[in-house]
Structure 1
Amino acid sequence: MDQLVEHGYVIVPNFLASAQCSIIFDYARELPAGAWQQAGIGRADQYTTNTAVRQDKIRWLSPALAVERDYLQMMEHLRELINRELFMGLFDYECHLAHYPPGSFYRKHLDAFKGRSNRILTTVFYLNPEWQATDGGELVIYGDHGEVLETVLPQAGKLVLFLSDRFVHEVLPGQRDRFSITGWYRLNASIGGVIDPTR
């Protein structure tokens, strides 16, 4: 919590034990091709796919399935903890599995623009066992002047949290299939009971 307040981001190397990571990793790896969709950029009526910018495939998590529900419940507990400690007013959470085939990437981007999104805090959780530096696929987090703040290997059990509207970041190409869960804690910007913006 202190690091999140001081720096606006935090990297937690062993957020989950390897046995728990393996359950989610095996689940993601064994999903049929039809369970994934090509990831896009933008939201609602601005949503589009552009493989020159982003090449991963995604699957939104749902509480209807046990493995997905367990992860969502864990992140709900984290939301309650962050709100209790930091009074951030985080209202809900959405997340998806992400699969980056070898060579795929996601160019530099922000997850939210100030005043134009209810996404407040981004989470990235990695599922990849025995990932080495030679495998690539790093998350690069940039500072206000374009300097590299962190280069994060996507190793199993590692959780990264950062302020969604502050840090430009990118995913570099990897040499292996790379799996993660990316999510966002959001404020309540609903109108008439409808969360805005929609996915």
Structure 2
Amino acid sequence: MEEQLDHISAEIYQKSYVIVDNFVDKEFQSALLAEQMQLLGQGKFRHAAVGKGGQKQVRTEIRGDEVHWMDADDLSPLQAAYWEKLEEIRKALNQNCFLGLRSFEGHFARYPIGSFYKRHLDQFQAVPHRVVTVILYLNDSWTQDEEGALRMYIPQEDGSELIEDVLPVGGRLVIFLSGEIPHEVLPTKKERISITGWFRNID
């Protein structure tokens, strides 16, 4: 784990993002996916909104995902185990990248067939405390033909952007600096499941 943490920290420091395959094993991934399906069956998911506070609204022409927020004070055993893994990452990023990360917030995210999320930044005026975005994909399997990639626009020194498309392969972890990398979720041809969250510089 220490070697993996060093790799994550180095990539974030040098490139602002990192992709880690098989971050969790198949058994743990499948258990989280089953828990997500159970929560969905219980009607716990809501259409994700854009904006903050009084300006928050559901706009499916911008994003079509559904979410279930995790309660830090009432985590299931599986969720708590995942948060413990993230706590190790938080400490490593603070030690090696001096990011001042103090807490984590996260939700299950479900993209139904045909849904997407247009290009955006995770850190903006309404959510200035999000410093690092962390996404764990839970899908059992995924192929290129099913589309639904995370598309990241990586800023280059000459002012251009490098486009990196990341398929939501189960067990894959994607981490990037929330205020530096614009991204979008391309239309998906298959239900797409993840846990998406943010390390923040507030408690």
| TM-score, normalising length: structure 1 | 0.88
RMSD of aligned alpha carbons: 1.8
Aligned to 1:49: 58
Q: Which amino acid aligns with 2:137?
A: Y
Alignment partners' CA distance in 1, 2:125 and 2:13: 18
CA change 1:116–1:123 in 2 (3 A) is closer
Out of 13, 24, 33, which is 2:21 matched to?
Answer: 13
Q: How far apart are 1:115 and its partner, in Å?
A: 9.7
Moved more, 66-75 or 105-114: 66-75
Aligned to 1:97: 108
Aligned to 1:132: 143
| 3-state SS of 2:12 partner | helix
Q: Contact 1:114/1:165 (CA < 8 Å) preserved in 2?
A: no
Q: Contact 2:154/2:164 (CA < 8 Å) preserved in 1?
A: no
Alignment partners' CA distance in 1, 2:13 and 2:62: 31
Q: Contact 2:51/2:126 (CA < 8 Å) preserved in 1?
A: no
Q: Which amino acid aligns with 1:164?
A: S
Q: Contact 1:62/1:69 (CA < 8 Å) preserved in 2?
A: no
Alignment partners' CA distance in 1, 2:162 and 2:62: 20
Q: Which amino acid aligns with 1:124?
A: I
**1:107-127 deviations in whole A, cap 9, x for unaligned?**
111111279601100111100
| TM-score, normalising length: structure 2 | 0.86
**1:14-50 deviations in whole A, cap 9, x for unaligned?**
2111111111011112322511011011222332211
Q: How far apart are 1:79 and its partner, in Å?
A: 1.0
| 3-state SS of 2:84 partner | helix
Q: Which amino acid aligns with 1:12?
A: V
What are the ranges of 5 or more consecutive residues in structure 1 without an aligned counterpart? Answer: 189-194
Alignment partners' CA distance in 2, 1:164 and 1:40: 18
Q: Contact 1:140/1:148 (CA < 8 Å) preserved in 2?
A: no
Out of 67, 78, 87, which is 1:58 matched to?
Answer: 67
CA change 1:26–1:12 in 2 (3 A) is same
Does residue 163 of structure 1 match 2:177?
Answer: yes
What are the ranges of 5 or more consecutive residues in structure 2 without an aligned counterpart? Answer: 1-8
Length, aligned pairs only: 189
Aligned to 2:117: 106
Aligned to 2:3: none
Identity percentage of aligned residues = 36
Q: Which amino acid aligns with 2:15?
A: H
